[in-house]
A and B are shown apart, each in its own frame.
Chain A
């Protein structure tokens, strides 16, 4: 089983108030100050507790043999990630969440979509051009996986599923935020669910598995790997499908259609009747 064990990571997250602080950070402004003060107090206490719990454990991990990839990953981590996620993946208050237990799947998603490393703190992390090479991503994944465990990458054909079932699951679980065909949509207070237009199979899979940022987690006991593959098969089929009825106008539905009828339809006809009314 590649999933995290809820029993084992629960105490970790209990102590992991940095996540709580990350949450506070994303709150609306008028709450921020209050949250910051409270968060600071809590974080001081919790970081201390966390450190006492994990420092020895971390040391124990380090004493075991570290592969070359992990070592390279550590180096990359210390160069690019450490300022927000802390020296031992424990996270930094008000900056970045703990990476203990997030697993390589999460690293893959965050880094491969260019969301990490973050440029600045915003409502949510935008996808950007990828910073690291595939090899470097592998090294980072190895490092994070070795130091805390968590969901791992799947293997095999990620579209090996049932198209219609995938569609049904997509509409039940995904379309509420990502729109009917994965065009993305707005969330509260400036956050947004991204478009899945350019997402790769593995990105979609790891996103479901790890629930990045505000996306709910779909663990393997909730959506089985087969169901995830069905969903990916559906998304990618529909995304890649031509539009039988002409220009897709973003597959956005009525807003785009309304724009077209006014900007194209009415304008063309207005032009037409101007021309008809003009003198020869």
Chain B
């Protein structure tokens, strides 16, 4: 830390400072400063920055028991920090060398399960000890000083002079009179701005082209496949069961809107079943197929309670009643899960009779129009 102001030019020579030069170097010559103690210089500089040191509570007396103890504590903290850092390095570099392998093989070994915790423990302790040492040092060994610094509100002088410069500069451009320039400037600004933003237009895609939101891969005659690609016969499922099925198209089991729940109702549920209007023939025997994509936020709704016939969405807890056309009966969802019309093909496997007759997944602005 230096309290000297050694601006070039202030140490003499031919090159003399201009008439406007001033500041503390004029008041305090090098000779005068050289005659001051370090403490005085410190306070002088502080005062120059608007800081007054009110009170200094000196640290513990040199050589006192209190000091020795504090020094011991701080030293211990820093030493421990070093030791823990070293232990971190031992664990990090030593695993697989003179310590067991850290890699996670099969179900993991004791050491591989300890590796990361040990790294964290040692690094955590080491860094915390550095911090603790520093704080202890500040609290127990450094003098406690109470300083006051003045707070200045904005200076009126600065405001007025800056304003004058600004207005003067603006005035000399004459923009207030030369209307053509301001107008063309405005036009230019808008046009150039839009031009610079225009390439972002590459992001824009028309969501209505090909109606990707309103259609899925399901179509007449498309088989219902399991995740592993096998088709399903009506005899394959027990009453009260659910299978997630996908359309028989390439990559069908990865499409985000195609996942469908094929549910075989329990016999008494078949009796109670009240399909939605016009969708009575969408089911096949005791099988019904509903979209797995929640009509609320698009999560896969597959928490199927086979006794109560409820389907729960794990994201926002919408509940749908399977025997009432998958109508929402609780939670934030507003629309029934779309039902996939199904039947059985010549070979006895489930196929779709058509695509969903409405858009699957979350609601959006013009959904009803698609």
Contact = CB atoms under 8 A, between A and B. Distances in A.
B308 A23 contact: yes
A217 B115 contact: no
Interface stretch (B41-49, B156-164, B298-306): B298-306
Interface string A10-34: 1001101101101100110000000
A172 B364 CA distance: 27
Contact of A13 (B239, B244, B309): B239
Quick one: which of A3, A7, A217, A241 has the most chain B CB within 10 A? Answer: A217
Contacts of A187: 303, 305, 310, 312
B242 A216 contact: yes
Contacts of B140: 280
Which of B104, B310, B312 counts the most chain A CB atoms within 10 A? B312
B240 A211 contact: yes
Contacts, number: 118
Nearest to B142: A280
A14 B108 contact: no
Contact of A217 (B239, B300, B303, B330): B239
B329 to A, nearest CB: 9
A185 B302 CA distance: 13
Interface string B230-255: 00010111111111100000000000
Interface residues of A, number: 48
B314 interface: yes
Given A211-B238, A222-B237, A246-B120, A191 B135 contact: no
A177 interface: yes
Given A177-B303, A240-B107, A6 B113 contact: no
B319 interface: yes
A67 interface: no
B266 interface: yes
Interface string B126-157: 00000100010001100010000000000000
A63 interface: no
Contact of B116 (A22, A188, A218, A246): A246
A160 interface: no
A6 B236 CA distance: 9
B268 A176 contact: no
A216 B235 contact: no
A255 B243 CA distance: 30
Contacts of A276: 135, 139
Given A10-B239, A13-B267, A211-B240, 12 more contacts: A13-B268, A17-B268, A211-B238, A215-B306, A217-B237, A217-B306, A221-B235, A222-B236, A241-B107, A241-B108, A275-B135, A276-B135
Interface of A: 3-4, 6-7, 10, 13-14, 16-17, 19-20, 22-23, 26-27, 168-169, 172-173, 176-177, 185, 187-188, 191, 193, 211, 213-219, 221-222, 237, 240-246, 272, 275-276, 280
Interface of B: 104, 107-108, 110, 112-113, 115-117, 120, 131, 135, 139-140, 144, 227, 233, 235-244, 266-268, 300, 302-310, 312, 314, 317, 319, 330
Q: Which 5 A-B pairs have the closest CB atoms?
A: A242-B113, A214-B305, A217-B238, A221-B236, A219-B238
